[in-house]
Amino acid sequence: MIVGEEASVGCGIHVEGKLAWCEGFSWRTRVFRDRIEAGAVLAEALAEARVEGDIVYAIAAGGVPVGYAVAERMELNLDTIVVKKITFPWTTEAGFGAVALEGIHYYNKTIALASGLEEEWVRGRIREIADYVVQRTLRLRGSTEYSVEGKRVIVVDDGIAMGYTMLVALKYLKHKGAARLIAAAPTAHVEGARLAASIADMVVVANMRKGPYFAVADAYREWRDISDEEALEYLRRRSPALQAFNTPSPNES
């Protein structure tokens, strides 16, 4: 694994309650070359925070290269979890909640109400997204079964903005019986990290930021979408269960 110059800078872990972040990387932008380098720095942060785990679950698809780098450094198996944002009807980008398997979800009711979205519409959208999550999960890992009962699980994404996606991933894995949940991301807004901390036992971030404007991509010098096919290639490298899994159907965005 190639690690750039930034990854050689000491993390300098700072712990505040359930939150931990790297003082050496926080409060600025463009600190990582790409997701692999970001994952290497995040693994260092987890080590400095003395986090131990039994398995890494990366949120598809952008979190998978990061999760791969973390799992490689920590010598753990890697798996994936699919979570999809609940977006506003007038955009495919901005969201006010998220949905995982079994319809497990979270949405900001205050924002939904202020945006003029009726609860019936939101509930219907949650059902639609839940169906999508099942299909994409089958395409990426061939099964919707998760065996995490009693395990220490590290949940990785490429960033935490509002925190909805990470929160729902944590809710689902807690529902499945995980004994300890660590949320980990190379970059996060402090408020999104705090939301994740409402469920996680600890939230570890390399590049913590704050302020009225936040974009996950701003922590990276190279940023692009990750296809499901590319995500599956990373998963196969550190997941014995997926090494023989066939290539999925064409990626759906």
**Where residue 133 falls among pLDDT bands split at 50, 70, 90?**
very high
Residue 112 lies in a domain: no
Per-residue pLDDT reduced to its tens digit, 51-91: 999 999 999 999 999 999 999 999 999 999 999 999 887 86
- Could you tell me which of 185, 226, 227, 177 has the C-alpha nearest to residue 204? 185
Residue 40 lies in a domain: yes
Residue 8 has pLDDT above 80, yes or no: no
Residue 213 lies in a domain: yes
Residue 205 lies in a domain: yes
Higher-confidence residue of 203 and 122: namely: 203
Residue 167 lies in a domain: yes
How many domains, the chain? Answer: 1
Residue 35 lies in a domain: yes
Residue 131 lies in a domain: no
Residue 190 lies in a domain: yes
- Mean of pLDDT values over 173-196: 98
Residues 52, 55, 60, 63: what is their CA dihedral angle, to the nearest 10 degrees? 30
Per-residue pLDDT reduced to its tens digit, 205-234: 999 999 999 999 999 999 999 999 999 999
- Whichever domain contains 37, its CATH number is 3.40.50.2020
- What domain range is 68 assigned to? 11-83+147-242
Residue 244 has pLDDT above 80, yes or no: no
Q: Which amino acid is it at 159?
A: G
pLDDT, residue 7, reads 47
